[in-house]
Structure 1
Amino acid sequence: MEDSGSYLEVDVNGQEVFFVNKRTLTSFSGKLSKLFGKSTGSRKNLKVIFHDLPGGAKGFELMARFCYNNGRAEITPTNVVVLHCVALFMEMTKEVSGSLSLIEQTKLSLKEISYWSWSELLVALKQCQSFMTVADSSGLVIKLIDSLVGRLRLVSASDESLSTSPDSSGFRYSWDTKSTESTKNCFSRTNWWFDDLVVFNIEMIEKAIKVMITQKFDNRVICRFLLNYQKSKCATATMDEKRKTTETLIDLLSTLDQCAVPCKSLFGILRVAFGLNICKSCRNKLEVMIGSQLDQAAMDSLLVPSPPGVNFLYDVNLVIRFLKYFLLGGVSWVSSTRLKKVAKMIDLYIAEVAPDPCLKPSKFIALVMALPDSARESYDEVYRSLDMYLEVHAGLSEEEQKMICSAMNYEKLSLEACEHLAQNTKFSAKSAVQALSCQQFKIKSLIKGTNHPRHHSDLSCSPSEKDNMGNDSNQIVIYAQKLDLSTENEKLKENLRGMQWRVMELEKVCRKMQNQMENVIKSKLSTTPSNPRSLPRLCS
């Protein structure tokens, strides 16, 4: 029997203390050999403390059994990961009595990963989480993840063929034969593996998703998994864990095809992010993703409360940034349909924020003018919002009122809106004249059958033009009388009669507007603003 001096006290990660034969372990471990050199063991009470030994007490025990069994061990899928990482940590490269070193034996076993069951892969990856540094640096983690993702791709491909079954040759080594019924149920749902991967930490998930992206995995499925993962993890996580999970989630989603990421889900992440104080770069990525598909958003999603310290009711700055990112590629990059859809939604949003007494004119105008003029076919909703804003902000300076009025395109106002504006004391006389002039020119163009562009600041009719408008209806009547309209031309006859009636009506409207313009100019110069009028209802 060897004297006590040949024994070594080993404290493993503060979990457990082992008393082992020093000579036995040093004969296999390069780390212990270097630690004790050529010591004969005459010194007593030798002790070594490990703080980060892979696998902890269990890992050390497996390694010690290997040494005491003269370099032989039963290596299985359930213990090979621990044994391999302990062997790397303890530098077990020595071959004793013709036996391969522990590192070489575990490497040979790891070559059989393709034959492991799904559950064995999960167990192996779960073990790696507790000693990630060693497992990752050795390339073991990426090897396991590659096998896992490859298995998922194989299963996904099988979903497209009802004839494929878990017992076919392609799946013979992919599944645990003891869980056949569970496996069959897996094939019946695309997202069967979501719950299996929820057990992993966010670092492991990040590595797995990057491999999925590299292997051209379906981005829609990846997105659904990440959203499911966040929901499951954040339910019981600490604030720091939630922040880290959310930031990593945003980073990963930003690398996916944006068509695979629902805009509604992004707004859900945004609401979560508000309370977590996520880093600025992640927040910018999230806003860019939302902005790039703003046409898919709902108006209610834009009603985000202002951050602390800002008096606005809603976060108008956020919406302005969304619009900036939406137009980032230029107006030509955004289709006309998408642009108009966003414009309609933003006009509704403008109407919601207009009554906010704390909203500054500069912010309000920036919001109104964030979209190009081509995005709106009509400015009636904008006029309604401007009117509402001026109603609430009655104390604006003349300069601020001019700023508000400058946001209007009077050429795109309906006749009803122009008539209301002409009598609206909250708008200047110049605005009223511009609106009526634009309508007068449009009526004249209809009568003359022209579509010549003309700037809205120079649209008043000259006396000669006014006289010409009065003669147009007579010309149509004379032309109709000269035509020899037979029964076969009855449709043409009806069209001419309709045109004659329309011209007469347009003449009446034009004369009415001409009178209104003169009255407005006189009243604006000679009277003061009357009591505030009720808000216009233009599109009800």
Structure 2
Amino acid sequence: MEVASPKDSSVVSSPFPSPNVGALLKIKIISWSQETGLPVSVRVRVANRIFNLHKYPLYSKSGYFKKSLNESNELELPQDFPGGPETFEMIALFSYGSSTLIDPFNVAALRCAAEFLEMTEDYGSSNLCTRFDLYLNQVVLQSWDDTLIVLQKCQTLLPLSEELLIVSRCIESLAFMACMEILDPERRRQQPVVTLEALASQAWSCETVKEIVSQDLWIKDLIALPYGFFKRIIGSLRRQGMKEKYVSPIIVFYANKWILSKKTRQFWENSGEKEGSDDTNKVSVTLQGILDLLPMGEKASRSIPVGFYLALLSRSLEVGLTSDSKAKLQDQIASLLHFAQVEDFLLPGGETDSISTSEELAMMKSIFLTYISSNTETTHTPASKALVAELWDMYLSRIAPDPNVGPKRFMDLIEVVPICNRQSHDHLYRAMNNFLQAHPNISQEEKGLVCKYLNCQKLSQAACIEAVQNELMPLRLIVQALFVQQLNTHQAFKECSDSFRYAHCGEFSGSLSSSRCPNSKSQNLGESPFIDGGEEGSRPLSFLLQKDIAMQKSEFSRKDYESTSFRIQNLEQELMSLKRSLQWQNIPKKTEPILDKTQSLRPYGLEGRSLSKKRNPLGQVSACIGSVNFTSQRKFASRLLKVFRRITLFGRGKSKRKPGAPGPWPKSM
């Protein structure tokens, strides 16, 4: 069976411009009288119209007339006759053998009227009941738009249309076609299925929801139905296997249209004034029905935004709702509170209302207390607790300016959320600041009471600086903020100093990977891990330097690297010269001429002898190496080699060079 898709506009059924049925009926009556020679003998009254007809056409096709016309030729149909005089006129025309124009706009009324008049197969083959059923099954129920039209027309034909299963057949057909629409792979490639994921991270807005609904016309058609039909369609969608993430948005859109929309509120008010009925009760009944349709608990998951539940809760205060339903709604909001937006929280709508005594505040407090008292592991992680605490503090920032909120009342509201749940006190500080601005005349003792729970160590840098300069804050808090600010400043300077030392202390060699320089003495870039070439693991310093730079991606420029490398190479050459001098010193002194030659080989003069008494730090040794005798040179070289061995083993050395001292490797060397 081929089913027309809701998006297929080619199957839309519209009423044909039918001829005047009354004129056709008169022609048929005259023609029948001429053919049979019988005058009209039956008088039928339908509402305010009277029909003069022949007895036989009605008697032969209708069980109702066959029973009623035996007693009298005058008959009055009941006021609730399906379709009224217009429908009976078409039934009478059919009884005279004329073809009846059927379309989705009149088929439901005709089928109900035919059933009322008992125009079944028992009183003639291919009678009206059979014909209308065929049209419903083979034409109407294959088209989305035709089915919607028939279902809407059934509202005025209840309960007969329900007994004839016209309503149920239309509902099942619409649900089936909606499921096919969701499952249509071609459509899903062209346009995604509408969900509520886009609304999860923003405040609830009726206008935004309307824009989303406009993307899918079939959803727009469903939410236009009365609640009784809509409820049954939702049940059919779930029975036929539609996933909840597609069903829930339909319910949300329906509630947004009939419960939350401002235009609908005006419609309810205007209709209530005209009809004089209690339409507020209708909204309450519809709202109660929406809550029954919505998934609750874990089934709700994140398919429905928290802002929607909060909007329903706010609306329930206006239209009235049972206490059980309100409690159920509050529990649902509490289970998803860590996904909420502070813009969705309830605030009094009236300008003269006091926030401190409002029912909205009482509900919000109850919701947060419900969240805190629950022990669900999935919603009570440290991060979610901190987020809920921030939401409450931001909500307090909106409540704080109310002049009717006293210090004691404000303290009670702060204590709703445990202080230990607050990882940051920035929003709490904003709330307290707003309260102090709105209550400039409270005493210092009351100020201290209000700010009792504020911890300056949990304030951000900007908030702490602002607190120090805030004259409204109590003196104790300002002193605490000053102390915390001093600690923060000291820490900032320390980190800045460490960063500077790290940038100028490049880890060129060694096996340690520390990000900080060792303790209090900085590393000297010019120290070389030179050791005896015969030792295992000996490497030229330039090789180690290049390897470390390649591995660590040093921040030094190439120019700095070349300069440092050049100085290190000079140091290695001087140390080699010193080693050769020491080797000459070990030769027996009987070879005196050779000793004279060795003196000529020494690269250092004796003019700097007076400087040998000064103990220059490592890095300025070039000024004194040539001024000492061979014995002291040997001792000093031995010490120097030990230092370089330590550098090789530990990866870095220590320098005692003061800032501003001359470079460790003068060019005079």
The two structures have a TM-score, normalised by structure 1, of 0.59
Residue-by-residue CA offset, 1:22-71 (whole Å, 9 max, x unaligned)? 6654555455566x4841x3xx7x3414222222223222333343439x
Match status 1:252 vs 2:252: no
> Residues 323, 144 of structure 1: CA spacing in aligned structure 2 closer, same or farther, 3 A cutoff?
same
> Residues 90, 288 of structure 1: CA spacing in aligned structure 2 closer, same or farther, 3 A cutoff?
farther
SS at match of 1:9: strand
Among 145, 154, 164, the residue aligned to 1:138: 164
Match status 1:299 vs 2:326: no
Contact 2:424 2:459 in 1 (8 A): yes
Among 405, 410, 414, the residue aligned to 1:359: 405
Contact 2:389 2:417 in 1 (8 A): yes
Deviates most, 400-409 or 128-137: 400-409
Contact 1:81 1:124 in 2 (8 A): yes
Number of the residue aligned with 2:267: 237
Residue-by-residue CA offset, 1:360-381 (whole Å, 9 max, x unaligned)? 5565344323334453114464
* CA distance in 1 between partners of 2:436 and 2:262 (Å): 48
Contact 2:389 2:421 in 1 (8 A): yes
Contact 1:198 1:232 in 2 (8 A): no
Match status 1:491 vs 2:526: no
User: What letter corresponds to residue 115 of structure 2 in structure 1?
Assistant: L
> Residues 17, 37 of structure 1: CA spacing in aligned structure 2 closer, same or farther, 3 A cutoff?
closer
In structure 2, runs of 5+ residues without a counterpart are 1-36, 191-213, 273-278, 485-508, 522-669
How much has 1:317 moved relative to structure 2?
A: 2.0
Of structures 1 and 2, the larger Rg is shown by 2
* CA distance in 1 between partners of 2:431 and 2:43 (Å): 83
User: What letter corresponds to residue 321 of structure 2 in structure 1?
Assistant: C
Number of the residue aligned with 2:275: none
Match status 1:10 vs 2:38: no
* CA distance in 2 between partners of 1:261 and 1:409 (Å): 37
User: What letter corresponds to residue 110 of structure 2 in structure 1?
Assistant: L
> Residues 74, 390 of structure 1: CA spacing in aligned structure 2 closer, same or farther, 3 A cutoff?
closer
Match status 1:118 vs 2:118: no
User: What letter corresponds to residue 364 of structure 1 in structure 2?
Assistant: F
How much has 1:151 moved relative to structure 2?
A: 1.6
How much has 1:358 moved relative to structure 2?
A: 0.6
Contact 1:312 1:356 in 2 (8 A): yes
Among 198, 217, 220, the residue aligned to 1:192: 217
How much has 1:116 moved relative to structure 2?
A: 2.7
In structure 1, runs of 5+ residues without a counterpart are 165-188, 440-485, 499-540
Number of the residue aligned with 2:596: none
> Residues 407, 210 of structure 1: CA spacing in aligned structure 2 closer, same or farther, 3 A cutoff?
farther
Number of the residue aligned with 2:319: 277
Number of the residue aligned with 1:226: 254
Contact 1:29 1:92 in 2 (8 A): yes
SS at match of 2:114: helix
Match status 1:155 vs 2:198: no
User: What letter corresponds to residue 18 of structure 1 in structure 2?
Assistant: F
User: What letter corresponds to residue 375 of structure 1 in structure 2?
Assistant: N
Contact 1:219 1:260 in 2 (8 A): no
Among 370, 375, 379, the residue aligned to 1:330: 375
Deviates most, 84-93 or 246-255: 246-255
Work out the number of aligned pairs and report it.
416
Contact 2:283 2:319 in 1 (8 A): no
Match status 1:63 vs 2:91: yes
Match status 1:343 vs 2:389: yes
> Residues 304, 32 of structure 1: CA spacing in aligned structure 2 closer, same or farther, 3 A cutoff?
farther
* CA distance in 2 between partners of 1:490 and 1:69 (Å): 104
> Residues 248, 89 of structure 1: CA spacing in aligned structure 2 closer, same or farther, 3 A cutoff?
same
Residue-by-residue CA offset, 1:6-26 (whole Å, 9 max, x unaligned)? 4233223x5x44344466545
> Residues 154, 492 of structure 1: CA spacing in aligned structure 2 closer, same or farther, 3 A cutoff?
closer
Match status 1:321 vs 2:358: no
Contact 2:46 2:84 in 1 (8 A): no
Contact 1:391 1:426 in 2 (8 A): no
User: What letter corresponds to residue 342 of structure 2 in structure 1?
Assistant: M
> Residues 404, 213 of structure 1: CA spacing in aligned structure 2 closer, same or farther, 3 A cutoff?
farther
* CA distance in 2 between partners of 1:232 and 1:84 (Å): 39
Q: Percent identity?
A: 23
Contact 1:55 1:86 in 2 (8 A): yes
RMSD: 5.2
SS at match of 1:144: helix
> Residues 399, 427 of structure 1: CA spacing in aligned structure 2 closer, same or farther, 3 A cutoff?
closer
Number of the residue aligned with 2:155: 129
Contact 1:10 1:48 in 2 (8 A): yes
Contact 2:345 2:364 in 1 (8 A): yes
Residue-by-residue CA offset, 1:364-403 (whole Å, 9 max, x unaligned)? 3443233344531144643664576477668989999998
User: What letter corresponds to residue 514 of structure 2 in structure 1?
Assistant: K
Contact 1:30 1:92 in 2 (8 A): yes
> Residues 114, 77 of structure 1: CA spacing in aligned structure 2 closer, same or farther, 3 A cutoff?
closer
Contact 1:223 1:261 in 2 (8 A): no
User: What letter corresponds to residue 112 of structure 1 in structure 2?
Assistant: Q
* CA distance in 1 between partners of 2:233 and 2:143 (Å): 18
How much has 1:221 moved relative to structure 2?
A: 4.7
How much has 1:143 moved relative to structure 2?
A: 1.0
How much has 1:134 moved relative to structure 2?
A: 2.0
* CA distance in 2 between partners of 1:396 and 1:360 (Å): 9
* CA distance in 2 between partners of 1:82 and 1:408 (Å): 72
The 5-angstrom pairing of residues 391-406 of structure 1 reads none
> Residues 131, 284 of structure 1: CA spacing in aligned structure 2 closer, same or farther, 3 A cutoff?
farther
* CA distance in 1 between partners of 2:90 and 2:457 (Å): 84
SS at match of 2:319: coil
How much has 1:144 moved relative to structure 2?
A: 0.7
Contact 1:355 1:389 in 2 (8 A): yes
> Residues 381, 91 of structure 1: CA spacing in aligned structure 2 closer, same or farther, 3 A cutoff?
same
Contact 1:11 1:48 in 2 (8 A): yes
* CA distance in 1 between partners of 2:265 and 2:79 (Å): 32
The 5-angstrom pairing of residues 199-210 of structure 1 reads 200-210=225-235
The 5-angstrom pairing of residues 375-524 of structure 1 reads 375-379=421-425, 381-382=427-428, 385-386=431-432, 389=435, 488=511, 491=514, 494=517
Deviates most, 487-496 or 297-306: 487-496
* CA distance in 1 between partners of 2:373 and 2:140 (Å): 46
Residue-by-residue CA offset, 1:319-364 (whole Å, 9 max, x unaligned)? 2134245557535341433332222122122123223221255653
User: What letter corresponds to residue 93 of structure 2 in structure 1?
Assistant: R
The two structures have a TM-score, normalised by structure 2, of 0.49
